[in-house]
Amino acid sequence: MRHCGEVIKDVWLGIAGTFVPRARVPARLRLKLDRVAADRALAEVEDASGRRAASAVTSRSHTCGVGAALLAPAGARVGVDLVTVERVGERHARAVLSDGEWMALSRYTELRPSLAWALKEAAAKAGGDPHRSFPGELQIEAGPDRLRVRRSGSNDGEFVAGWGTIGPFLYAWVYRSALSRADGGS
């Protein structure tokens, strides 16, 4: 599985690896396998973009033998998440989304839970550590043309967001440029 491209100007997304159902991989090898895939995804976006991770900002995600990497210019805030669509149920998504966020994604029907979860994870990565918290102030919004993540009650710049599917996976990303951070006074 391989996918690499510029999702918006100067922001590159790569996906690499081979889907392996989790039950087929010994537990102690899962993280290693996934990290190798994420490393490959990052190497591919480096090659495609002509930028090096060391002089950019990156976010990575991995599951079931496949990795995703997002790369953007230094100073930006980014987050990416990769899930298998079947892994995420409504109960998972509703546990971390507000009612308003859940409603905002109503048009996405079958993909709604996995999209909601992946967006929230990506936003949490951009704002910190999703293991520790899903920042309640980062609210997912669905505009007519694009998904956004906005920090409620703040003039802080908003994140733009996007998503897609590849094989059994759904990926979501969020991005805010260094410029919009400066404009937002963060």
Minimum distance from CB of 122 to other proteins (Å)? Answer: 11
Q: Binding pattern to other proteins, positions 98-127, x when CB under 8 A?
A: -------------------x---x------
CA dihedral 61, 63, 67, 70 (to 10 degrees): -20
Q: Is 63 an interacting residue with respect to other proteins (CB under 8 A)?
A: yes
| Residues found in the chain | 186
Among 68, 76, 88, 170, binds other proteins (CB under 8 A): 88
Sheet with 159-166, edge to edge strand ranges: 77-84, 169-176, 159-166, 147-151, 138-142
The residue among 56 and 119 lying less far from other proteins, judged by its C-beta, is 119
Q: Is 87 an interacting residue with respect to other proteins (CB under 8 A)?
A: yes
**Burial (CB count within 10 angstroms: exposed 0-12, middle 13-18, buried 19+), residue 27:** exposed
CA distance 127 to 79: 8
Query: Please, which of residues 149-178 interact with other proteins by CB under 8 A?
Result: none
Contact 81, 61 (CB under 8 A): yes
Q: With contacts defined by CB under 8 A, name the span among 42-50, 90-98, 138-146, 160-168 that binds other proteins.
A: 90-98
Collapsing DSSP to helix, strand or coil, 139 comes out as strand
The residue among 37 and 56 lying less far from other proteins, judged by its C-beta, is 37
Closest CA to 155 of 121, 126, 180: 180
Among 17, 67, 127, 130, binds other proteins (CB under 8 A): 130
Minimum distance from CB of 28 to other proteins (Å)? Answer: 6
Applying CB under 8 A, which residues contact other proteins? 22-23, 25, 27-31, 34, 63, 83, 87-88, 91-92, 95-96, 117, 121, 129-134
